[in-house]
Structure 1
């Protein structure tokens, strides 16, 4: 009997092509993007979090690009700016180095203060509730995937027949596999190895053919499966080739 937490995993592996875990991540990410500018917008607990953290640059860009609730985004950004300003400005003012003079010499400690403040800013702009929620969700998903691989024959077959698991999500799966028994890990990692070895071989061949097509002697030869090999390689290597796809579609339109 399919448990409720298995449904999204099965749905992702039922679709053909690409990395199933990327599909899980994309769906979860879209849900969180909608959540933080949807019903939760006026909840005090949520606003307290977003006031403090804002969103990371990646998710701020996605919110700006996808959001239909412009007012909601404006409210979140406004209160986050106020919170950041009240927190940062006193620290920035205190970090201004004193001018060195004849009586008061140089104080090399100012370099440490400036570097510490830079570290603080970088850490704070990296805070993001969407990232935190996604990390939790993906940790749960890979746990379910490893369990289903060992206990669900139908799912195991889907896993074996998936096109590939991108390298970032391969790493995630390996970390979860390290928590399995040795025999379970052996079966799981062998399947992952076979899956990714085939992917590497196919992509290397397709990308090579893609480059050879630029030789005038090969102009009339068919593209075969090489035409989108760059996009597929980007998805495999980095888990995200969609920005590249969008740029290409704009050029063609």
Structure 2
């Protein structure tokens, strides 16, 4: 199947040789979202309205701080804090929620507490990543159904982390026919378990190399087993 714009990120991730192509997609999406947020877009009214409303999670706020555009970050933080202060003042003025009676349900949260809890769950960058990642997952199944070369690439990949294995396992049931899904699960299980065993074997040899009895033995493929294992079980990269 001829490569299309929407298939390029998926093919690139599967061509990367990563222990989980879907983790690679998320890493690329995160970098793109950071660059978008700190680029000229931060001056656009629509984007500023969204960052004012959603804010950033602590992880992405640290990443934004590491970028060079400190003025852009300060402007976004300033207008976000202005909105937060205004909203919180109005909600705090309403006071705590009425306490439930003796036999009533649990006391509901005060409006200000609900606001804070919702704000802690929102992040402009996470939202951009999540929206695009759903499209990438759809593209995987679109390519699976139509592109035999991609199916071969999938089957010879280094597998997936446990989290993304679960996403593929669950999503495929709604995206593929019964026959297609049976074939997909057979291949998905093989690449997942074979490659989990491979990396776990490398970790075992990495551990053995700290035993004096194996001091003079070669490292084989175990020198980078720890960061590769972290991808497999933690669906994240370590620098």
TM surpasses 0.5? yes
Q: What's the secondary structure of 1:135's corresponding residue?
A: helix
Who is 1:235 aligned against?
Answer: 231
Q: What's the secondary structure of 1:226's corresponding residue?
A: coil
Who is 1:75 aligned against?
Answer: 75
Q: How far did residue 141 of structure 1 move?
A: 0.7
Cα distance in 2 for partners of 1:215, 1:115 equals: 57
TM-score, normalisation: structure 1: 0.83
Question: Gaps (5+ residues) in structure 2?
Answer: 101-105
Deviations 1:110-141 (A, max 9, x none): x9365764443122122112212211111111
CA 1:208–1:87: 2 relative to 1, 3 Å: same
1:195 paired residue among 180, 187, 191: 191
Q: Is the 8 A contact 1:95 1:114 kept in 2?
A: no
**1:120 paired to 2:115:** yes
Q: Is the 8 A contact 1:55 1:126 kept in 2?
A: no
Q: What's the secondary structure of 2:107's corresponding residue?
A: helix
Alignment RMSD, CA only?
2.3
Report which of the two has the higher share of helix: 1
Question: Gaps (5+ residues) in structure 1?
Answer: 98-106, 247-253
Who is 2:25 aligned against?
Answer: 24
Q: What's the secondary structure of 2:221's corresponding residue?
A: helix
Who is 1:101 aligned against?
Answer: none
Deviations 1:68-115 (A, max 9, x none): 211000000111111111112343454469xxxxxxxxx855x93657
Q: What's the secondary structure of 1:112's corresponding residue?
A: coil
Q: How far did residue 17 of structure 1 move?
A: 3.1
Who is 2:84 aligned against?
Answer: 84
TM-score, normalisation: structure 2: 0.88
The total of aligned residue pairs comes to: 233
Who is 2:103 aligned against?
Answer: none
Q: Is the 8 A contact 2:91 2:112 kept in 1?
A: yes
